[in-house]
Amino acid sequence: MVRTDRHLTEDDLSKSLRRDVAEGLAAAPKTLPPKWFYDERGSGLFEEITRLPEYYPTRAERAILRACSAGIARASGADTLVELGAGSGEKTRLLLEALYERGGPAGYVPVDVSGDFLEEAAARIAADHPGLRVHAVVADFERHLPLLPTGGRRMVAMLGSTIGNQTPEQRAAFLGDLRGTMEEGETLLLGADLVKDPARLVAAYDDAQGVTAEFNRNVLRVIDRELGADFDPALFEHVAVWDPDREWIEMRLRARTAHRVRVEALDMEADFAEGEEMRTEISSKFRKEGIASELAQAGFTLEHWWTDPEGDFSLLLARA
Ligand code: AVJ
């Protein structure tokens, strides 16, 4: 049983890519938002990242879910899982199975910007869980929260430290908006990567095999293909730095030489100086007190805090 709502078309996506690139290349310093990493190649590279020895977050979160998914399901009291940035993998299954095992009708609402990916993942999950009501929603969760289906007792999950891509200001707006769409008593399950030794953090975003570097440069290929640009990825070097004040990892692309890039679809040119750095992603790292107060500010109460044995990553449950 799969139903799909579409709040986002290819055309909407193409428009927002144009806007992001036009604004980002005109800004000083230049910047590109991380959401455009994930075409087919980029998603494949990200999958590869999750298996790298240096990239601990995926393994740590999976370990928490393996150990605690029954406890999470019980604590939430939910019968419906809404997953923002829907996964297809084991993490989703662990959560769903825990909800499912508590009995009663269960619903799954995967939300993702990529329609094809979503439909496939939703169909697979539905096939493996007879009776599960699967309601897939093609949407951008930073824009379409009010359009998500209500009903049942929902747990909204945002895993993988996806929230880390937002600045504190974006996070405050997002959490406030999300709270506004939730009923009292419903819950938010958030995956949050934690502050730790900067050397480990930098290694996780600058791996020895150079997979993250390829992932970072992939955004240039996406812009070349979608907007007829002539970025040469080889002219950009991958940079990952820890910002100790803002407690986030910043990924950048540094121009190896001075050169000009043309973006045909925008009829635009951008000049890069030698060594100029363009920001492509922030990945915020969290502390319990900080995230608790951000949640409280947005109208949530932090109720549970699970970590992996090493204390690298947290899954937290907050109630609306
Ligand atoms: C998917 C946003 C959680 O920030 O760790 C991995 C993306 N970037 N390596 C992260 C990413 C570089 C990842 N998130």
231 labeled part of a ligand binding site: no
What is the CA(157)–ligand 1 centre distance, in A? 17
Distance (angstroms) between ligand 1 centre and the Cα of 116 equals 21
Query: Binding residue per annotation — 283?
Result: yes
Q: How far is the CA of 251 from the centre of ligand 1 (A)?
A: 10
Return the bridge partners of 134, or none: 2, 108
- pLDDT attached to residue 100: 86
- List b or e across 13-38, with b for residues whose CB sees 16 or more CB atoms inside 10 angstroms: beebbbebbbebbeeeebbbbbbbbb
> Is any ligand 1 atom within 6 A of the Cβ of residue 212?
yes
Q: Is 164 in the pocket of ligand 1 (CB under 6 A)?
A: yes
CA of 283 to the centre of ligand 1 (A): 7
Mean per-residue pLDDT of the chain: 95
Q: Write down the pTM of the prediction.
A: 0.96
Is 282 known to sit in a ligand binding site? yes
**For ligand 1, mutation pick of 52, 194, 281, 282 (most atoms within 8 Å of CB):** 281
pLDDT at 38 over 90: yes
Tell whether the model's pLDDT for residue 89 goes beyond 80. no
Task: Give residue 302 CA to ligand 1 midpoint distance, Å.
Answer: 24
CB 56 within 8 A of CB 312: yes
Mean pLDDT, range 171-183, rounded to an integer = 97
- Please report which confidence band the pLDDT of residue 269 belongs to, taking 50, 70 and 90 as the band edges: very high
Q: Which atom of ligand 1 is nearest to the CA of 165?
A: 2
Q: Is the distance from the beta carbon of residue 248 to the nearest atom of ligand 1 less than 6 Å? A: no
- Check: CB of residue 156 under 8 Å from CB of residue 189: yes
- Range with the largest mean pLDDT of 39-43, 99-103, 268-272: 268-272
**Contact present, 16 and 263 (Cβ < 8 Å):** no
Residue 183 has pLDDT above 80, yes or no: yes
| Cα angle value 15/16/21 (rounded, 5°) | 105
How far is it, in rounded angstroms, from Cα 285 to Cα 192?
7
Q: Does 162 contact ligand 1 (Cβ within 6 A)?
A: yes
**pLDDT at res. 307:** 98
Q: Is 42 near ligand 1, meaning CB less than 6 Å away?
A: no
**What residues form DSSP beta bridges with 108?**
81, 134
Residue 293 CB contacts under 8 Å (≥ 6 apart), including other chains: none
How open is the CA angle 281-286-290, to the nearest 5 degrees? 125
193 forms beta bridges with 313
pLDDT (0 to 100) of residue 17 = 97
Q: Is the CB of 281 inside a 6 Å radius of any atom of ligand 1? A: yes
- Nearest-CA residue for atom 12 of ligand 1: 205
Q: ipTM of this model?
A: 0.99
